[in-house]
Chains A and B, each alone.
Chain A
Amino acid sequence: MNTDASKQRILTGDPFFRTFFRLLQTVKIHQSDNPLLLECVAEFVHSIIQCCAEEDRLTVQISRGRFYLQGETLTYRPDNLTLVQDMLQYFKQRGLTGLRFFASVREAASGQIVAFAHLLNNADRQEEPLAWLLLQMQEGNYPWVEIVLEADSSLTAHTSERGEKARRTYSYAMTSIQEVAQKMTSQQRAGVQKAKRMIQNMVDILTEDDSVLLGMSTIRDYDDYTYTHSVNVAILSMCLGKRIGLSRLSMERLGICGLFHDLGKVEISHDLIIKPGKLTDEEYDQIKEHSLNSVRQIVKLNALRDLKARIILPPFEHHLKYDLSGYPQTDRKKPVSLFGRILTITDIFDAMTSPRIYRPVALSPDRVLTMMLEGAGTEFDPILLKVFINMLGVCPVGTLLLLDTGEMGLVMETPAEAVAGRPLIVLLCQGGKGEFRKGAVVNLSERDPQSGAFRRNIVNSLHPSAYGIQPVDFLV
């Protein structure tokens, strides 16, 4: 069996969820010997076998409100969103955190499978659905399926390994761009090998799950803003690229563009970059030269012509704006390229959410998105901005929220199935010395079972930097 196809099926959950859901619905209506039901059983079994190309089992788990298949985060698509939401609800009503189907399901009698579907359906009528299910399954004969009681260690280990890899990659990417900038400053030839490798690593990470890298993109460094900014822009751009369906190679190129888009700042005096207060016209003109400077610095890189040629345009365009009203103003009146339009969005978002010397307190991510929306169609490509906001969620990852419970929490992610964009957050607990510690992960979509009201509501969004919080310490 083609492993790629199998992996694709796992990432999208297709057709497993579709056939599983259909089985669970059909079994409610028809007798166990009904041909339609038997057809559903056969399809369900087939869908499991298709996902078992590499392992002899298919493990479906829920962690932090998301489905994981074989340890991989399920990819949400518009066409599977409702189904996945329904299945999440189904699992939740039964207290199920996971199921593991074995390849031996192919030998199971259809009657057994139908009985199992009945069990699942009946569980929500029990007082303690999960306990009841466990008992029933123990008594029955279901060797081809088992209940996964909690997110198993391999899932946790895999997530943690991914987090470690993301941290290491971010760190190396940052030192790579630092090294390039330092060499450029001292008139040495700088290569791109390290930067390219790290961008490739990032593409690998975000292909599996972009939430980890999005979390990393909240890193802020007030003292050396340009480097974290460059890495963040690379990450955000690649994540946006992934959302719109760019190929791996294009994401690699986009990432490199992001990493080098501000390379031209090495030509601007540090004093000017860190100058507090308003800039004079002349000083602002110097700052505005940085996109052209970036192109010049890219030309100076010790890299093949082909690579340099492919990464020149987006850095040149990243301040041009969608309607070309930005800078540099030239005779060239061609529309901004796709990568240029992506950089424009991600650059502004990261810049405005970062504290700077002339703006000591950054704007909160959600506020920035609100402001950016006003520039849709003039400063920003409206469609890409829409995708970007969709990607980050109404409350972007790293947003510090004040809740009506008096708690504070950092947005971890907004699952596609979230109600009205209500995110998953990690609560922050304040220690005795005023420091923050990581608390529980809560889903703001959770409702009180009695009243049906949401357990927690957002009162306000705050600035992590104003509280000295480096979101990544709590997120990844």
Chain B
Amino acid sequence: MQDRSMGKAPSIPEVRPADEEILTVKGMIGSFLIALRNYVLYPEDHAMCRKSLAAVQGRLDGFLAGHQSLRLDVEKDRFLFQGEIVHQGPSQEDSLTFQLFREGIQWLEFKNGFTAEELNVFFKLLNQYRTPKEEAEGDLVTALWEADFPHLQYKNEDVLWEAEPLIDFSLLKVAPGEVQPEEEGVEEPVAPAAKIAMPAADAPFWKLTPAEEKEIEAMILEEETRDCTEDVLEVLMIILKEQRDPKDFAVILDFLTEEFRYTLAQGEFSFARKFLESIRVLQESRAPDRPWTRSLLDAFRQRISDSEVLGALEEAWQQVIVMDADRLEELRRSLLLLPAKVILTLGPMLPNVGSPGIEQLLMEVIGAHADDDLDPVKQLLDTAEEPLARRIIHVLKHLPTKDPTDVLFELTRHAQDTVCKDAVNALVDRDPQNLRKLFPLLEDPRLHIRRLICGHLGKRVNPLAEELLLDYLKHRRFQLKDRQHILACYRALGQCGSARSLPFLQESLLKQDWKSFLGIGGSLHRQGGALALLAVRNEEAARSALRKASRSIFSGVRLAYRRAVEEDQKMKKEPGR
């Protein structure tokens, strides 16, 4: 029987408590039960919980001020106060009396001074162990002991050993058999007690010196504040290296999965890094006598790259862990030691990290992994929403070795315009030659994509863009019969083109046929030619053609020139048009 009471338990007095006292205790238990129910229904910081906790505390304080203590005897379905029933309820699994009874608690005693904090913790424990838990999760009695309430005492029976007989120690054999000390010569040649007694007479020998006492204090402080994470990881690595049984190897890895998660949650990234380095060394050692380790370690590394484990990072940076530069560097190095699949876990974290430093770090890590293997990125992008996709595009744009063109090109078809735009920009930024691949987007149904492509084509003097546009316009390859679009293409050609395009543009503007004489037809391309020539940089021939057009005897040509000038001015004012 466990007695967590200080001194002797107060005995039940023979005098019956006053009716008023009983009513007070009944009221208190009522408010206690209401508060407990609120703890089940609401989070601890909910107003309902706080309010009901205050109500219980008020009643308890009032009672304890006058009585010093309140002891409640526990039975299966009732509480007794000084022998009087103060609460009777059903003996159901979820009733408080039954819960306490089930745990073997015989009485509870609240002492004067019982604080709101103690009450809060007590409620939390009652709530936590409301229903019987799996053995691993502990029990109420053990938890009450560990909570070590200064003003709450209780007594409980050893219910876990109900039917277990006690060992009769006198029946235990203390020696192998009938040993006769004299015959066996077991008496020791010297009187060891006297031998050891000598320093005893010299008290200073046994007395701890102040320095030793200080050292002990330091030892205790170190032990009681010790973070055992690194030790556990190291010891388990030692065991892994020695392990010969695949099943046990797997068991250790399972535990290490939990431990690794905890390490991350605590922000102990240097431990995590060292551990992952050891795992890598172990994996690379390719122990020939244990070929099965490879697949188990592979699976382990995949497992610890999952969100179930790496989700702990979000706990770490949502808490108060200071992410200084060293810590971030350790985290970066740790994450780089994981397989590329980690992208699938880190990616979704990106939009939510909130810290630019961490976001940058994750993008670097994703980039480094993607540079080895693009498949996880592709997988990630299959379902990526705009914020993630845009960040991934940024990463892909800077990949040093792997070519992400296909992935980026895929993204140009993304439902979100911003994503497409970023993808296009990334493609062009990575390699201007990508314009050839992007050129079909010039006829994309989405106006802004068409404009974007046009913008890229006309961004600067660019033989590739010139070639593409020239071919497109000259051979009338456009499927899209949109006036503005075609004009924009002409203008882009002017911006990116060279002398090579001038003949085509001059002809487009100044072409003399019967339609131009009559001022009908062809005005779009004439105007386009003019627009293009207006955009051409530093080409005297273009200016000359434009002058000619402005003085042309053909009204259609003059008109085209005039409109082109107007259009050009508009475009300059509104570049996005």
Contact surface of A with B, Cβ cutoff 8 Å: 2-4, 7, 54-55, 70-71, 78, 158, 165, 167-168, 170-172, 174-175, 191-194, 196-197, 200-201, 204, 219-223, 228, 244-250, 252, 289, 292, 295-296, 299-300, 302-306, 308-310, 312-313, 316, 328, 330-332, 334, 337-339, 355, 357, 360-361, 363-364, 366-367, 369-370, 373, 383, 386-387, 389-390, 394-395, 399, 401, 420-421, 458-470, 472-473
Contacts and interface: CB of A to CB of B under 8 A. Distances in A.
Interface stretch (B83-91, B206-214, B496-504): B206-214
Closest 7 CB pairs between A and B? A191-B135, A421-B200, A367-B192, A338-B223, A465-B175, A221-B172, A171-B167
Given A220-B174, A370-B196, A467 B6 contact: no
B179 A360 contact: yes
Contacts of A463: 181, 186
A328 B217 CA distance: 28
B234 A332 contact: yes
B142 interface: yes
A461 B135 contact: no
12 contacts: A2-B113, A54-B6, A174-B167, A200-B142, A250-B224, A296-B248, A309-B228, A309-B229, A364-B193, A386-B208, A394-B193, A470-B169
A420 B164 contact: no
B220 A338 contact: yes
Given A390-B206, A466-B181, 8 more contacts: A54-B6, A168-B1, A197-B141, A204-B2, A204-B3, A370-B195, A395-B196, A461-B188
B113 A219 contact: no
B65 interface: no
Interface string B145-176: 11010100000001011001011011011111
Contact of B167 (A175, A250, A302): A175
Contact of B2 (A3, A174, A200, A370): A200
A246 B217 CA distance: 9
Nearest to B150: A4
A357 B176 contact: yes
Contacts of B220: 244-246, 250, 338
A421 B148 CA distance: 36
Contacts of A2: 113
B415 interface: no
Nearest to B185: A361
B166 A54 contact: no
Interface stretch (B23-31, B252-260, B388-396): B252-260
B236 interface: yes
A466 B239 contact: no
A394 B239 contact: no
A330 B232 contact: no
Given A222-B174, A355-B174, A364 B192 contact: yes
Contacts of B21: none
Interface residues of B, number: 79
B430 to A, nearest CB: 45
A102 B207 CA distance: 37
Interface string B238-273: 110010000010011001001100100000000000
Contacts of A7: 6-7
Given A228-B172, A361-B184, A245 B216 contact: yes
A228 B167 CA distance: 11
Contacts, number: 249
A369 B196 contact: yes
Contacts of B188: 363-364, 367, 460-461
B194 interface: yes
B520 interface: no
B223 A337 contact: yes
B197 A309 contact: no
A304 B172 contact: no
A30 B216 CA distance: 44
Nearest to B212: A383
Nearest to A315: B235
B236 to A, nearest CB: 7
Interface in B127-148: 134-139, 141-142, 145-146, 148
Nearest to B243: A296
Contacts of B111: 3
A70 B7 contact: yes
Contact of A54 (B7, B192, B215): B7
Contacts of A292: 238-239, 242
Nearest to B256: A299
A399 B188 CA distance: 13
B188 to A, nearest CB: 6
Interface centre among B195, B196, B252 (most CB of A within 10 A): B196
B262 A309 contact: yes
Contacts of A355: 174-176
B181 A462 contact: yes
A10 to B, nearest CB: 9
A306 B259 CA distance: 9
Contact of A168 (B141, B158, B232, B248): B158
Nearest to A72: B7
Contacts of B124: none
Contacts of A395: 193, 196-197
Contact of B187 (A331, A394, A462): A462
B231 interface: yes
B325 interface: no
B191 to A, nearest CB: 5
A295 B256 CA distance: 13
B193 A204 contact: no
Interface string B305-319: 000000000000000
Given A304-B136, A370-B192, A337 B231 contact: yes
A369 B229 CA distance: 34
A233 B193 CA distance: 22
A332 B242 CA distance: 14
Nearest to A78: B207
B242 to A, nearest CB: 6
Contacts of A196: 138, 142
Contacts of A299: 236, 251-252, 255
B226 A337 contact: yes
A250 B166 contact: no
A386 B206 contact: yes
B326 interface: no
B166 A312 contact: no
Contacts of B224: 246-247, 250
B181 to A, nearest CB: 4
A201 B2 contact: yes
